[in-house]
């Protein structure tokens, strides 16, 4: 298949490029590099099945030749990024989604939207099922991301209903692994960075809030299975193994060999207290569930950050 992917230079996007190329597809990666990095794609520079286009998908996109699938992963995804770029986040979720849906419609292609568990907000239902409508503050500081994704889902369903477009919607829960930005503010890279530097690990609140963590290769496998499915409504993709933030911080310290020291800060506004996916739908329809244990995934992620820190020090010397 000939596939067009927005957000290809991002964390998840670059890993999805790897998987699709390994499966024998051709991928045109599109990214404006607002938060993505070409470092994530440098290993694909000479790959015969990959091409890169620097383009902002909030502007119309023309692609010559056949297109079999369009995958929309473009968006600032970490709180640090979308709070810095709130308008761009809203635009890529609205105009960007519309432009890529139009591209898919013109070519008769299938369309995959990478949505988010943030659609559930600070949930009153636990664990979260796809039928839950969410508890979202539409004017809070996180609303630029939450509402952009909720709008993107609505637009995707509108194109499916009006034009019969073959669409899929993935609600992605916390995902981690190599190629995350060390300074993007999310809990996994932040904790690893602080632990590797021997600094106290910053915990917001008392650390009793919960998250679940899915390794990126598992998440990518779920996206690929979903893209080739007939399911048109949202599907949760994430790891249902729930743990507190403090437990996670202790695990990172243990695996890095760091002393478990913690520094507490006030919780950010609208920060979810509990987050855990119900993946019954993904298990039933896709035959999918996470397989990489947390400690195995964390060891791979820690080694990635260690090696990049060493490489950076070597370049500086």
Active site residues: 145
Pair 151, 95: CB distance under 8 Å: no
Angle at 279 between CA 232 and CA 226, to 5 degrees: 35
Output the six-digit token pair for 216.
């990126």
Pair 193, 184: CB distance under 8 Å: no
- Rg (alpha carbons) of the chain, rounded to whole number: 19
Pair 169, 235: CB distance under 8 Å: yes
Burial class (CB in 10 A: 0-12, 13-18, 19+), 39: exposed
Distance, in Å, from the CA atom of 263 to the CA atom of 265, rounded to the nearest integer, reads 7
- Taking the CB of residue 163, how many other CB atoms lie within 10 A of it? 14
Helical spans, DSSP H, in 108-172: 143-163
């Amino acid at each position: 298949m000939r596939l067009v992917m927005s957000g290809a230079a991002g964390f998840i996007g670059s890993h999805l490029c790897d998987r699709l190329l390994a499966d024998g597809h051709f991928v045109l990666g599109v990214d404006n590099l607002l938060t993505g990095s070409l470092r994530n794609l440098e290993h694909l520079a000479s790959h015969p099945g990959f091409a890169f286009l620097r383009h902002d998908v909030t502007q119309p996109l023309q692609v010559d030749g056949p297109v079999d699938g369009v995958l929309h992963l473009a968006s600032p995804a970490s709180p640090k990024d979308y709070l810095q770029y709130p308008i761009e986040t809203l635009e890529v979720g609205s105009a960007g989604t519309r432009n890529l849906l139009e591209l898919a419609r013109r070519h008769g292609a299938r369309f995959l939207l990478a949505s988010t568990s943030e659609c559930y907000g600070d949930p009153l239902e636990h664990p979260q099922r796809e039928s839950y409508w969410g508890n979202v503050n539409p004017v809070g500081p996180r609303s630029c991301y939450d509402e952009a994704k909720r709008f993107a889902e609505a637009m995707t369903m509108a194109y499916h209903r009006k034009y019969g477009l073959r669409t899929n919607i993935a609600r992605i829960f916390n995902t981690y692994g190599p190629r995350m930005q060390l300074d993007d503010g999310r809990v996994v890279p932040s904790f690893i960075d602080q632990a590797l530097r021997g600094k106290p690990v910053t915990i917001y609140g008392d650390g009793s809030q919960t998250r679940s963590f899915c390794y990126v290769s598992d998440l990518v496998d779920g996206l690929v299975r979903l893209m080739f499915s007939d399911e048109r409504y949202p599907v949760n993709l994430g790891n249902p193994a729930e743990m507190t933030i403090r437990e996670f911080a202790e695990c990172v310290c243990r695996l890095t060999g760091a002393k478990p020291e913690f520094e507490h800060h006030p919780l950010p506004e609208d920060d979810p207290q509990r987050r855990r996916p119900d993946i019954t739908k993904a298990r039933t329809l896709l035959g999918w569930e996470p397989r990489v244990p947390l400690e195995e995934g964390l060891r791979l992620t820690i080694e990635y950050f260690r090696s990049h820190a060493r490489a950076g020090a070597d370049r500086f010397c």
